[in-house]
Amino acid sequence: MNGLTRFVLDHKRVVLGFWLVVTIAAFAAIQPAGNALSQQFTVPGREGFETNQDLGEIYGNGGDVAPLVPVVTLPTGRTIDSPGITRQLDAALARVEAALPEARSASYASTGDRAFVSDDGRTTFALVYIPATGGVDPGQVEARRAQAALEGVTVGGSAVEVTGLDALRAAAGESEGDGAGVLLGTLVAALGALLVLVFVFRSFTALVPVLMAFVAIPTTFLLVWPVASVTDVSVIVQFLVALIGLGIAIDYALLVVVRWREERQQPNVTNDAAVRAAMRHAGSAVVFSGTTVAISLLALVALPVPFLRSIGIAGLLIALVSVAVAVTLLPVLLATIGPRLDWPRNRRDARASRAWSAWARLVVRHRWAAAVTSTAVIAGLVVAASSIQLGNPQADSLANAGPARAALEKLEDSGIGTGPLSPFDALVRSGDAGAVAQALAQVDGVRSAAAPADWQRGGTALVTVILTEDGNSVAGRATLDRIRASTLPGEVTIGGQAAQSVDFIDAVYGNFPLMLALISVLTFLLLARAFRSLILPLKAVLLNLLSVAAALGLVVLVFQKGFGSDEIWGIEATRAINVEMPIVIFAFLFGISMDYQVFIISRMREAYDRTRSTETAVVEGVGRTGRLVTSAALILGLAFVAFSASPGTEAKIFATALGGGILIDATIIRGILAPAAVAILGRWNWWLPDRAARILRVEPSRAQPDATPGREIVEVEPEREKASVAGGFRPDAPHDDAPESPPAVPVGS
C-alpha cells in the first residue's frame, strides 16, 4: 500500500486525468450498458428450462411465464350450464385474445372440459398464456391490457376479472405507485447518505465519499457493458450496481477519510504525511474488505445459472471499482483539496469516541453476560431461519386490493384454490394427449388436467396440469416429483414457470454447502494474513455466517410468517421466500458485513501491537470504529430502504434482508458479541504458530497462550525492546508515536 500511495501522490495529474476520462466515458456507457442486459432467467440443462425453451419456439408463448387467469363467479341460481352462459364467456375471452393476439388460451367455453369449472358450477376460469419476455416485471403490461379489455364486460351479470401471479404483481405496483425508477431511488439514498456524512464530519468533507460513489457507480456500468456483450448479464444488475455500489463506495471512502482526519489532527503532521498514514492503515483495510466481498461473490460466479452468475460478476465489479477509487483517486483529492474541504474542522476525530469507548469497557467488564445475551438473540433468528420455505411468494401476498385480488378470492372461495395461477405444462412429444391428461389427473396433488384440441403443433401437444396447491409451494414441488416419477403413456416432459423454479432450487442448492465451505476457507486464509492470527479470522467467519443466518431469520419472521409485513407494507404472509433470495443474500451480506469486521479488528490489531493488552485493544478498537461502523451501516441501510420502496414483494424481501442484516450485524454482532468474544478469548486472539506464519508469509508472534488464565509466556528480544524505547515508543502515546514496524512480541495483557 505504501508503494501504491507513493506512486499515486507522485502522479496526481495523471491519476486525476485518468479518472476524469473514465467517468465521462462511464456516464456515456450507462444507457447502452442497460440496453445490453439480458431479460431472461435461465437454468440450462434442466428439464423445466429445456421444456420451456421448446414451448416458446413451438408455440410462441407459455413456458417460463405464469398464465393470466380470467375468473367469473356467476350469481346464485346460475351455473356454467345455464342458457347463454357459455356464449357470453366465449365472447368475453375473445376480447382478451384480441388485446393479446400472441396469446394462447383455454377455457370451458373453448374445450367443454370441466377442469375449468368449480364443483358447484358457478365459478369458472380461463388460462391465457402470453410470450415469455422476461425482464424485471414480466407479464404485468399484458395483465393490464387483459383487464382493460374486460372493462364493463359481464357473464351472466357478473364481472370478469383477471388474476394470476403477474396480474397480482401489477396490481401491487399500481397500489404503491410504479416507482420513479433506479435513478430516483439512488438519488434518495444518496441524499440520505449525505445527511449521515454531514452528521459524521460536520464539514464539507462530507461531499468526498459521495463524490467517490459518483465515480464508482458509472464506472461499474462501463465495465458491465463489455461483459454483457459476451455473456448474459441479468437486468437486475442495474439495481444492484446503483444501490449497493452507492453504499460500498461511500463506506470505503468514509473509512479512509475518517482516518485521514484523525492523522491530520495529530501534532506536527503534514497533510501529505496524514494521507500516507491513512492509506497505510485504512487503505489496507479497504483492500482486504473489498477482497472479502469479492470472495463471497464466488458463490454466485461458480453457479451453473447465468442469472446468478451475472449478479456475482456485477458484485465483483462493484467491489473492485470501489476499492480502486478509494486507493487511487481518493488520496489525490485528500492531498490536494482535502484541507480546504475540511472546514469547519472537527476535532472529534483526534480521539476515540467517549460513548463507544465507555460501551466497550462495559462489554469487556461484563463479557460473559454480553456474549450470552447477544448469542441468544442471534440464536432465535437462526432458529427462525431454519424454517425457511423456498418458492415464489404465495399469491395472497402479492396484492391486497383490486380486481386481481378479487378474482383470486373468487378462486379460493369456490374451492378451486390457487392451483390455476401456477400450473405445470406437460409437453407431449409422442403419444395421445388425452391419455396423458387422464394419467396426470390420477397423480396425487393434481386437481385436474386438460388437453385442449387446438394445443397441438409440430407433432407435439400440450396438457395443462392444475394442482390442488400452489405450484411454487412445498406441496407443489412434491407433486412435481410425483408427476416426473410416474409412468405416462408417451414421451412427456414437464415445464412451466413453477417447474423451472423447482429446477432452479436443485441446480443452485445441491452443491451450496460445498461452496459455502470453500468461501469460508478462502476468507479465513485472507483474514489470517491480515490479522496475523488464526483465532481472529475463525471467529470472524463464524460470526459472519451467524449474521447471514440471522438476516434470513428476519426475512422469515417478517415475510414468510408475516410478523410486521402487513403493518409496514400491507403485504400478507408470503409463506415462502423466493428461491434465489437466500444465495443472493448470502453472497452480498457475507462480504458487506465482513467489511465491518475488518474495520474493527484491524484497529484492535493495531492497538494490541502497540499496547500488548487485549482489553485495551477491544476498547480502543470499538472506540475508534464504533461511530464509523454505525454510520456506514446507516448509509447502506438507507440505500436498501430506498430499494424497498420499489413496487413488488420480492424487492421488499431483498431490501429487508440486506438492510436489516447489516443493522443486526453492526449492532448486536459487531457492537456486542464480537468485542465480548475477543475479551473472553484474551491472548488466544493473537495466536499464530510459526508454521502457519511461514505459510501465510507473515511475522509470527512469540507469545503463546498459556493454560492458566491471566498469564502469558513472553520472550522479549532486548535489542528490539531497546530500539523501541530509543525511538520514543510509549504504550500510551498517540498512534503516530508507534514505530513503523511495531514489536511482534506481546509484553503482557
CA distances from 651 to 34, 360, 613 (A): 19, 36, 46
HSE (CB half, 13 Å, CA atoms) of 662? Answer: 29
Question: Which cell numbers in the block locate residue 371?
Answer: 456474549
> Which of the residues in the chain have pLDDT under 70?
39-41, 134-137, 172-186, 345-350, 645-648, 700-749
3-state secondary structure of 463: strand
Give the pTM. Answer: 0.76
Query: What distance in Å separates the CA atoms of residue 676 and residue 144, rounded to the nearest whole number?
Result: 55
Contacts of 127 by beta carbon, 8 Å cutoff, 6+ apart: 67, 68, 69, 105, 106, 107, 116, 420, 423, 464
- Inter-residue contact 275 to 335 (CB < 8 Å): yes
Helix (H) or strand (E) holding 159: strand 158-159
pLDDT of residue 738: 36
Closest-CA residue to 447 (of 686, 194, 105, 113):
113
For the domain made up of 1-35+182-351, the CATH class stated in words is mainly alpha
- Inter-residue contact 253 to 208 (CB < 8 Å): yes
Closest-CA residue to 249 (of 218, 280, 272, 228):
218
pLDDT of residue 716: 34
pLDDT of residue 648: 66
CA distances from 297 to 229, 243, 309, 430 (A): 21, 17, 9, 43
Cis peptide before 138 (omega within 30 of 0): no
Query: What distance in Å separates the CA atoms of residue 566 and residue 403, rounded to the nearest whole number?
Result: 19
Between CA 442 and CA 128, with CA 107 as vertex, the angle to 5 degrees is 100
- Inter-residue contact 708 to 723 (CB < 8 Å): no
682-731 pLDDT per residue, tens: 999 999 998 888 888 777 654 444 333 333 333 333 333 333 333 333 33
Closest-CA residue to 559 (of 311, 409, 385):
385
Query: What distance in Å separates the CA atoms of residue 572 and residue 561, rounded to the nearest whole number?
Result: 9
3-state secondary structure of 427: strand
Which CATH code fits 60-178? Answer: 3.30.70.330
Burial of 698 (0-12, 13-18, 19+ CB in 10 A): middle
Residues of the chain with CATH 1.20.1640.10: 1-35+182-351, 353-386+395-403+511-568+575-704
Closest-CA residue to 602 (of 532, 701, 672, 681):
532
- Inter-residue contact 389 to 470 (CB < 8 Å): no
pLDDT of residue 70: 96
pLDDT of residue 161: 94
- Inter-residue contact 233 to 38 (CB < 8 Å): yes
| Residue 11 identity (one-letter amino acid) | H
Right CATH for 353-386+395-403+511-568+575-704 from 1.20.1640.10, 1.10.1510.10, 3.40.50.2000, 3.30.300.20: 1.20.1640.10
Contacts of 200 by beta carbon, 8 Å cutoff, 6+ apart: 206, 254, 258, 627, 628, 631
pLDDT of residue 323: 94
- For residue 652, how far is the Cα from the chain centroid? 11
pLDDT of residue 345: 63
30-47 pLDDT per residue, tens: 888 877 777 666 777 788
pLDDT of residue 206: 86
Tell me the DSSP string of 169-228: HHHHHHHH----HHHHHHHHHHHHHHHHHHHHH-SGGGHHHHHHHHHHHHHHHHHHHHHH
Helix (H) or strand (E) holding 12: helix 12-35
Phi/psi for 157 (5° steps) reads 90, -5
Q: 719 has which bridge partners?
A: none
pLDDT of residue 265: 82
pLDDT of residue 173: 57
Query: What distance in Å separates the CA atoms of residue 55 and residue 495, rounded to the nearest whole number?
Result: 8
Question: Which cell numbers in the block locate residue 730?
Answer: 510509549
- Inter-residue contact 599 to 521 (CB < 8 Å): no
Closest-CA residue to 72 (of 167, 170, 143, 150):
150
| Residue 492 identity (one-letter amino acid) | V
pLDDT of residue 180: 46
Question: Which cell numbers in the block locate residue 298?
Answer: 464466488
Phi/psi for 390 (5° steps) reads -90, 140
Helical spans, DSSP H, in 556-613: 565-569, 581-611
pLDDT of residue 663: 87
Residues of the chain with CATH 3.30.70.330: 60-178
Query: What distance in Å separates the CA atoms of residue 200 and residue 342, rounded to the nearest whole number?
Result: 12
Ramachandran bin of 560, using left for φ above 0, alpha for ψ from -120 to 50, beta for the remaining angles: alpha
Question: Which cell numbers in the block locate residue 193?
Answer: 447518505
Closest-CA residue to 168 (of 287, 50, 71):
71
Contacts for 702-707: CB closer than 8 Å, 24+ residues apart:
702/744, 702/745, 702/746, 703/745, 703/746
Closest-CA residue to 21 (of 32, 10, 29):
29
